[in-house]
Amino acid sequence: MTTLQAPKRDFVSMADLDAPALLKLLERAAQLKAQPRGDLLAGKTLALVFEKPSLRTRLSFDVAMAQQGGRALYLSPAEVGLGQREPPRDVARVISRMVDAVALRTHEDEKLAEFARYASVPVINALSEGEHPCQCLADLLTIRERKGRFAGLRLAYIGDGNNVANSLLIGGATVGLDVTIAAPEGYAPPAAVLAIAERRARESGGAVRVVSRPEEAAEGADILYTDVWTSMGQEQEAAVRRQAFAGFSITRRLLARAAPDAIVMHDLPAHRGEEIEDDVIEGPQSVVFDQAENRLHAQKALLVALLSRA
Ligand code: CP
């Protein structure tokens, strides 16, 4: 069984957690949600090194540390200049001398990998081009709460095969979900991610599929999930992407194809009228704000696993 404890474990991908470790972490997150305050992270400091904007990730890490007696320090791109003012390997070694863990939000996965290689404290991927594993922890916690199980559930992800989709594929397959990605040609998740997810699905009894029609994915699904068509850093592609993703929206009509008790998920921020209709995100099947809240509980459990012996 993979654990996240000493000597030093990083959390850069959902592949870093096998099924027992992931299920244990989700159980701990549920416990911490019921009893949020304590001293499990007393005396610990988390550095937040962010090269991109954030509401949920920054806030949830900060509050998670505070509620368990620790502290978080936010370091802005202008202060750190990762890769410009100073190479990632130097920043990683300096920060490691002063804090207990680092949450890094960056563009390139190579930068994250270099940072993790040189850091002597745990490094958490707070979003990179390749993955958004912290979001996936909160997503799985939300599904667990709403559905009470993973096995046999069908998750349909509609849209861009991006970092959120990649983490969902690996994490979902690990816990036994049947994950279908509906993406336009050229926007499917990378083959390497699909290969990991397929391996995990074979072990868990889950399934992984990529299709080109949103209707095919949504038919009978228990969970409909989407994300923005244009992620941070892709703004110059926005017009091309709007064309490519036309029809890849969660609309009321698409939702009607899903199971009657299907839930609708989005990691936020959302572009209403593009990847999701306003009526759907505001509707009774939407659980998007549960997902946002669960960032706090899931990441707190992650920090406890990485930094505490409890
Ligand atoms: N979902 C998510 O990661 O939100 P932020 O970009 O606001 O952190």
Q: Are residues 142 and 287 in the same domain?
A: yes
Residue 309: which pLDDT band, with cuts at 50, 70 and 90?
Answer: confident
CB of 125 within 6 A of ligand 1: the answer is no
Helix 56-67 to helix 288-307 angle, to the nearest 10 degrees? Answer: 50
d(CA 138, CA 141): 5
pLDDT of residue 72 exceeding 80: yes
Cβ-contact 56, 299 below 8 angstroms: no
Report the domain count for the chain.
2
268 lines ligand 1 (CB under 6 A): yes
Range of the domain at 190: 135-291
Say how many Å lie between the CA of residue 59 and the centre of ligand 1: 9
- Assign residue 76 the CATH number of its domain: 3.40.50.1370
Same domain, 88 and 189: no
Residue 98 in any domain: the answer is: yes
Confidence of residue 5 (pLDDT cuts 50, 70, 90): low
pLDDT at 98 over 60: yes
Residue keyed to tokens 């410009």: 84
- 298 belongs to a structural domain: no
For 112-127, the pLDDT digits (tens) are 999 999 999 999 999 9
Does one domain contain both 151 and 172? yes
Instruction: Mark whether 140 and 76 lie in a shared domain.
Output: no
Q: Do 179 and 90 belong together in one domain?
A: no
Tell me the CA–centroid distance for residue 203 and ligand 1, in Å.
Answer: 30
With the most atoms of ligand 1 within 8 angstroms of its CB, the residue from 51, 124, 127, 225 to mutate is 127
pLDDT reading at 8 higher than 80: no
- 130 neighbors 166 (Cβ within 8 angstroms): yes
Give yes or no: residues 286 and 265 share one domain: yes
Q: pTM for this one? A: 0.96
Q: Are both 198 and 125 inside the same structural domain?
A: no
Q: How many residues make up the chain in this entry? A: 310
Q: Is residue 303 part of a domain?
A: no
Give me the pLDDT at residue 3, please. 57
* Within a domain: 42: yes
Instruction: Check whether residue 100 and residue 140 sit in a common domain.
Output: no
Atom of ligand 1 nearest to the CA of 134: 3
Report the distance separating Cα 170 and Cα 182, nearest Å. Answer: 16
Final residue of a structural domain among 67, 96, 129: 129
Q: Do 238 and 194 share a structural domain?
A: yes
Question: Do residue 180 and residue 277 come from a single domain?
Answer: yes
Calculate what percentage of the chain has a pLDDT beyond 70.
97
Q: Are residues 168 and 123 in the same domain?
A: no
Where does a domain end: 87, 102, 129?
129
Mean pLDDT score, 157-177: 98
Residues 48 and 95 both lie in one domain: yes
- 141 compared with 9, residue with greater pLDDT: 141
Residue 277: pLDDT over 70: yes
